[in-house]
Structure 1
Amino acid sequence: MKFAVLCFLLLGDHDMYSGMLVHSLDSFRAAVYEHAVIFPADRTKILSRDDALKVMMKNLNVYKQQTELASLNEAMIIIFPEYGLYGLGWTRQTLAPYLEYIPDPNVEMWNPCNKPSVYNSTEVQHMLSCIAKHNSIYIVANMGARLPCTNLDPKCPRDKQYQYSANVVYGPSGDFLARYFKFNLYLNEDYLDKPNKVELSMFDTPFGRFGTFTSLDIMYHDPAISLIEKMNITNIAYPTAWVDNLPLLSAIEFHSAFAEGTHINLLAANLHIPSAGYHGSGLYWSTSTSIDAAYYYNDSKNSNGSLVVETLQPIIIPSPNERFIKNFNALTRSKEVKFTSVCDRGSNIKTHEIKINGDVYKAVLLQDPMYQLEVCNGNLCCRAAVETGIAPGELYAFGAFDGMHTEGERYYLQACVFIKCANNTLESCGSPTKVSSSYMGKMAFSGNFTTKYVFPEVLTSENGVPGLMTKIWYYMGDLIIDAGLNGATLSISLIGRDYSRDNLA
């Protein structure tokens, strides 16, 4: 079967980009723990500090056990999730007993395990420090922070303290190395304060320099892209509380895509509360033209948390200006590819509107095995050459979106998507589904994005369980599949973020 566009896009020297990524001879073992958090019995009640500590110590005891297990597996760093010490669903008053004062490690060196009495009511920091010390490991955990303020500060809250979601980092001797206060809050996190300015939090290890941020931060330029691009960070420790938001924002789906699009090692630890949609953790690392991963995805309501341990290699980028070069090249290269609206099939295929996560996409519906298509929305045109085995009764949509995403959080999004519809109706396209019987044989996929920040996603299904297809080509802005997918196809997408347009009215 002729597949001219795929041949055109697959031609060329795949080694051309190999100089962009240098694997060091050194490697390191890393771990993330997806934690089934132990909640307090009643989150509507204001507890005493002692009762709040009892809740957190139950979770910290799990952290201790998992750190010991990670250490036995030779892990050198372990990441724990956001809200892992006390769970979700607070008011400002009910959260307060769980908070601790966290000093600035850039101002004062401190080892909480060795000197627990330097600051009052820092029991959590003391235990985290001791867990790190006793296991000779780096620990990154998320906890609640409070910083006192006075009326001299015009932004000081009425209760005279700022309340933050904080990442804390401890070294293998128990030293307090770094802190980070979450900058981008979800709308329902009204019990937390947003820092007056964004922090770029980093720490050094023998196996590379790390940055850290939290959950929703990954969707915005600051601090995520600033750390990666301006500070040339190639390792991110990422505690998160991420709801699995299919079809485009499953945790393993987007986090792996972010690692590939930015060429980093992303160590992502999520909560494990499947009944509320919180699950999906992993270690994701970029290769020269693809993504690899070790991850945990279990949405069974009776499932437990899990430890993921894998060997990673430090990523070396010769220059910060080269980090996004293969995305950027697509801006000019895509103009060389000549597409008509519906190649070889006339122009009678109808364009529809479908809604995905609140955004209205222009889309073409697919049921036949082979297409060469272009679909446009606004200034974005998405192009695909597809050879697929679509099962009888199944329907796919190939679509484009170029505009402001406003459902929940607000950000400017450009997206080219190939998604499985929940059933064989137009109305179901964009609805979440985990079931597919269709396979992808070959695909070449690109778009004329106005941004160089493009993240390639491939999500598959095996017996109704989503998984990642990691052996793909993502080369000079083209997402290429030339050997088929392992598992049935749920979605194949290019997610572009034009950060410069986030503040548009």
Structure 2
Amino acid sequence: MRYLFVAIGALLFHYGLAYKAAVIEYYSESRDTPSDTILKNLQNYRTHIEKVRDQGVEIIVFPEYGLTTLVQDPEEYAIDLANDTKIKTELSDMAQEHALYIVVNVLEKSKEDGSTTKYYNTNLVFNRNGDIIAKYRKINLNNEPKLTPGTELVTFATNFGVNFGLFTGADILHHNPSRSILEFDNVTDIIYPTAWVSTLPFYSSLTVQRGYAQANGVNLLAANYAKAKDGRGGSGIYLYNGKYPEIYIDSSPSSKPIVQDVTKIDRRQKPTTCSSISPQGLPIPDDKPKLADFKTLKKFDASDYTFKDVDLSKEQVSTTVCHRQFCCNFNLTIAQPANTAEFFKLMVYSGKSTLADEEQNIRVCSLLACKDNSKDSCGERASSTTKFIRISIGSQVESDNTTFYVPLTLNNDLRPIKETSYCEQSDSNNATYIQLNTYRTQSEVLVFGIYGTSAGSSDVNAAIRHSTFILLLWLVIAKFIVL
């Protein structure tokens, strides 16, 4: 009888407007041996699945490294998917017994080229019948020297009518796969297991997750590894319109299931209309997380950035700030009287940045809270009482397929700012105007801005010139070969 109700529920959701999903912020347990560690975490996974299945969940997502803990040497923890393994069988049985989709992260070993064994950070998707229907190998590794990067984009379809894309951890900061996956027109929702370390001011976990969903008009299911003392944690379910039904971050060493209905969309709803009008969506919870023991790192060389002080005694602040050829327009309305003992700065940057020993080309324009009047104090965890009636930040950028932008917002409680709208408007002159607005008064603002990552050079024209040079060089070589 139970499975009859499960089947009926699945049909209703298939033809309905939503599906029910669960993501698990998971505190991974370690035991004396790799085998015991994995088996213990498998047991915990089963407990979480049994709990959420009673709530009608159709798909559940576990985080990166949840089964194995954060290990540097994958050899004793890795499984060979080409052969029957106890781990694979256990996961298959769970999916089949509870009739739901399960997404898990494993360390995989594969014997290739005859005798070489390679190791991968791999996500597996099990369907309701317990079959593996998708396997994704992480492309952009992050301090994982003994692993081999994957090369393939992966999508999968479900019988509740939703097509998912899949990537992991640091992948979300890279054009491939986080934007490449969106070239599949039918992908509307993203599965995102991660073991993210929050790094201020630009790379806090919930900010990165919500920014990706909001900028790309997709639903995002993000499950993070919980280890607050190392700065790991922060999970959520995010809707395509920038709303987040539930997110979680806390400093307690425990696991947390997040269960929510997720609105189905026929196609991605990329925001193209710039407005200060509140988008429609679900109400957002106001509960405050406990973060006293949550460690946040900081990686920010203020000397490289262009800053401008915000005069908090003024009700209106409107100005343009530039770094190199990248300029941003700032419009602030500040509630008066303001606390002029607090410090805020406007900041703009276009150039190189290094995260996790990997160099990227970034563009940032942001309002930052600072502990004092020094640039170096900006972007740290701070407590502010200044109320901003309105914040609007915009910039005109080149329309190209190499640089992508996301909203970047953060409160003192390490959660994204609730009431914001983001858009990208393109014109016929190969230009795009990007803009981020608030539509309600905001306090406790830590970071509010726009973050861009380039797949090539930070100077787009330089990248084009470089490509042209390579093409001409090959033409010359080809000419000599023919001769």
Please state which band the TM-score falls in when normalised by the shorter chain: 0.7 to 0.9
User: In the aligned structure 2, how far is the partner of 1:200 from the partner of 1:357?
Assistant: 34
Per-residue deviation, 1:83: 0.6
1:447 to 384, 395, 410: 395
Look up the SS of the partner of 1:236 in the other structure.
strand
1:420 to 348, 362, 369: 369
Alignment partner, residue 345 of structure 1: none
Look up the SS of the partner of 2:358 in the other structure.
coil
2:237 to 283, 289, 301: 283
Look up the SS of the partner of 1:468 in the other structure.
coil
Deviations 1:169-221 (Å, cap 9, x if unpaired)? Answer: 001121111100111111x21021123x3333434342310111110111111
User: In the aligned structure 1, how far is the partner of 2:19 from the partner of 2:57?
Assistant: 7
2:411 to 460, 470, 475: 460
Alignment partner, residue 209 of structure 1: 163
Alignment partner, residue 321 of structure 2: 375
User: Is the Cα–Cα contact under 8 Å of residues 210 and 237 in structure 1 kept in the other structure?
Assistant: yes
State percent identity of aligned pairs: 24
Larger RCO, structures 1/2 (Cα 8 Å, 6+ apart): 1
User: In the aligned structure 1, how far is the partner of 2:271 from the partner of 2:445?
Assistant: 28
Per-residue deviation, 1:25: 4.4
Per-residue deviation, 1:380: 1.2
User: Is the Cα–Cα contact under 8 Å of residues 460 and 468 in structure 1 kept in the other structure?
Assistant: yes
Would you say 1:313 and 2:267 are equivalent positions?
Answer: no
Per-residue deviation, 1:388: 2.4
Deviations 1:89-141 (Å, cap 9, x if unpaired)? Answer: 413xxx212111124xxxxxxxxxxxxxxx24x11111111111121111111
User: In the aligned structure 2, how far is the partner of 1:244 from the partner of 1:472?
Assistant: 22
1:483-502 correspondence to structure 2 within 5 Å:
483-485=440-442, 487-501=443-457
User: Is the Cα–Cα contact under 8 Å of residues 32 and 307 in structure 1 kept in the other structure?
Assistant: yes
1:302-341 correspondence to structure 2 within 5 Å:
302-317=252-267, 324=270, 326=272
Q: Calculate the aligned-residue CA RMSD, in Å.
A: 2.5
User: In the aligned structure 1, how far is the partner of 2:300 from the partner of 2:184?
Assistant: 31
User: In the aligned structure 1, how far is the partner of 2:236 from the partner of 2:211?
Assistant: 12
Q: Please give the TM-score of this superposition, normalised by the length of structure 2.
A: 0.79
Q: Which amino acid aligns with 1:363?
A: F
Alignment partner, residue 180 of structure 1: 136
User: In the aligned structure 1, how far is the partner of 2:263 from the partner of 2:191?
Assistant: 15
Look up the SS of the partner of 2:198 in the other structure.
coil
2:117 to 161, 178, 184: 161
Would you say 1:262 and 2:216 are equivalent positions?
Answer: yes
1:35-434 correspondence to structure 2 within 5 Å:
35-41=26-32, 51-91=33-73, 95-103=74-82, 119-120=83-84, 122-150=85-113, 160-186=116-142, 188-195=143-150, 197-287=151-241, 290-298=242-250, 300=251, 302-317=252-267, 324=270, 326=272, 357-358=300-301, 360-368=304-312, 369-389=315-335, 390-407=338-355, 408-421=357-370, 423-434=371-382
User: Is the Cα–Cα contact under 8 Å of residues 253 and 458 in structure 1 kept in the other structure?
Assistant: yes
Cα gap change, 1:498 to 1:232, in 2 (>3 Å): farther
Alignment partner, residue 106 of structure 1: none
**Residues matched between the structures, number:** 408
User: Is the Cα–Cα contact under 8 Å of residues 251 and 279 in structure 1 kept in the other structure?
Assistant: yes
Cα gap change, 1:229 to 1:413, in 2 (>3 Å): same
Q: Which amino acid aligns with 1:149?
A: E
Q: Which amino acid aligns with 2:365?
A: C
Q: Which amino acid aligns with 1:32?
A: V
Q: Which amino acid aligns with 1:429?
A: S
Q: Which amino acid aligns with 1:101?
A: D
Per-residue deviation, 1:324: 4.9
Alignment partner, residue 482 of structure 1: 439
User: In the aligned structure 2, how far is the partner of 1:357 from the partner of 1:234?
Assistant: 34
User: In the aligned structure 1, how far is the partner of 2:320 from the partner of 2:245?
Assistant: 31
Alignment partner, residue 116 of structure 1: none
Q: Which amino acid aligns with 2:81?
A: I
User: In the aligned structure 2, how far is the partner of 1:57 from the partner of 1:356?
Assistant: 37
Per-residue deviation, 1:375: 0.4
User: Is the Cα–Cα contact under 8 Å of residues 23 and 223 in structure 2 kept in the other structure?
Assistant: yes
Cα gap change, 1:172 to 1:454, in 2 (>3 Å): same
Alignment partner, residue 12 of structure 1: none
Q: Which amino acid aligns with 1:468?
A: P
User: In the aligned structure 2, how far is the partner of 1:178 from the partner of 1:230?
Assistant: 16
Per-residue deviation, 1:292: 3.0
Cα gap change, 1:489 to 1:68, in 2 (>3 Å): same
